[in-house]
Amino acid sequence: MKARAALIAFGLVASGLLLGGRDVGAAPGAPASSSASGPTIAAPVLNLVAHASFGDDAASADGWVEVVVRVENVSPAAVKGTLELTGMTYGVRGKDVPTKSRAPFHAPPTSSVVVHLPAHAPASTPNLALKAIGEDGSTLATLNVPVSMQDSPLVVDVSPTPRLGVQMRLWSVNPGWCPYGSFTGGSPYLTGTAAPTTPHLTVGAPRYDATTGDPILPDRAAGYAPVSALVMHSETIAKLEGEPLEAMINWVLSGGTLAIVMQVIGIVEGIMYLTKSDEEFVRTYVEGRKGWF
């Protein structure tokens, strides 16, 4: 009888582990309760959702990438802490070196926040390790973030319904293309004499904020490091402000390629904007707060 009771108790504890610390009969969302079978197992307070800024399949080469993390607080209390992103990147003489980036977060009760984390592209495995650490040093949540390790040109289509990928993905590119600017028988990080294989074009796209409807773009110029060309509509550029705008401008000034898609209505509105009198301009765009472009 004692052996049977022990097996039953173990089964109840195992069930609690599999069900995230909730009783088998508890209603969804109900907190875990104590039982004689074992200690209470706390339900998770955070969920992490993270992706490379331009998609999991977007080429990253050997440069910087930016990871966009959504921290979802499922508890009734605010949660503060630090996000930590670690990985291994290329070092000297073919030896990988560890990397780590950190950023604070503050998630209000039952709400979510978006945090941008810079990272070096991974070297040996196509994953970065993400961890949320509480103010007391405890680990609140962990997640493996997939990042492409392709050395290929990347075109980014900033559009709610990107279409370039359907037509352009996997196009063959000039074999002379090299992510390092020139090819001399081996990359700066690896040794070798074999010529580079024919690269194929990759196409990426940013995710969009479900609340504002705006694209979630890098807030550092380094976040655009893998991008060969950025395609963006003129009205999207006109709405950018703050760090995303500054990051894009700095990237373009550093040699980045920006292709602007103009719409006819934007051009017509622009002409009207320039030809209005001062009084009409103030009445329409300042007092009336009319948007344009």
In the sheet with 202-204, reading across from the earlier edge strand, the strands are: 202-204, 154-158, 229-233, 258-261
Give pLDDT tens digits for 12-36.
333 333 333 333 333 444 444 444 4
Confidence of residue 179 (pLDDT cuts 50, 70, 90): low
Q: What pLDDT shows up at residue 280? A: 74
- Answer yes or no: is pLDDT of 287 > 60: yes
Q: Is 49 exposed, middle or buried (0-12, 13-18, 19+ CB in 10 A)?
A: middle
Pairwise pLDDT comparison (80 vs 169), residue with the higher score: 80
Q: What pLDDT shows up at residue 183? A: 47
Q: What pLDDT shows up at residue 102? A: 96
Q: Which distant-in-sequence residues (6+ apart) come within 8 Å of 30 by Cβ? A: 22, 23
Q: What pLDDT shows up at residue 31? A: 45
Mean pLDDT calculated for residue range 113-118:
94
SS3 228: coil
Element housing 268 (H / E): helix 264-275
Confidence of residue 153 (pLDDT cuts 50, 70, 90): confident
Q: What pLDDT shows up at residue 138? A: 94
Mean pLDDT calculated for residue range 126-135:
92
Q: What pLDDT shows up at residue 21? A: 37
In angstroms, the Cα distances linking 226 to 7, 9, 88 are 55, 54, 17
Mean pLDDT calculated for residue range 115-137:
88
For residue 102, the number of C-alpha atoms closer than 13 Å in the C-beta half-sphere is: 6
Mean pLDDT calculated for residue range 144-158:
86
- Domains, in order of start, for the chain: 1-42 (no CATH), 46-261 (2.60.40.10)
Pairwise pLDDT comparison (14 vs 239), residue with the higher score: 239
Q: In this structure, which amino acid lies at residue 70?
A: R
Q: Is 241 exposed, middle or buried (0-12, 13-18, 19+ CB in 10 A)?
A: exposed
Q: What pLDDT shows up at residue 3? A: 43
How many C-beta atoms surround the C-beta of residue 284 within 10 A?
15
In the sheet with 46-52, reading across from the earlier edge strand, the strands are: 46-52, 64-73, 112-120
Q: What pLDDT shows up at residue 126? A: 80
Mean pLDDT calculated for residue range 92-116:
90
Give pLDDT tens digits for 64-83.
889 999 999 999 999 999 99
Give pLDDT tens digits for 41-64.
456 689 999 999 998 878 776 678
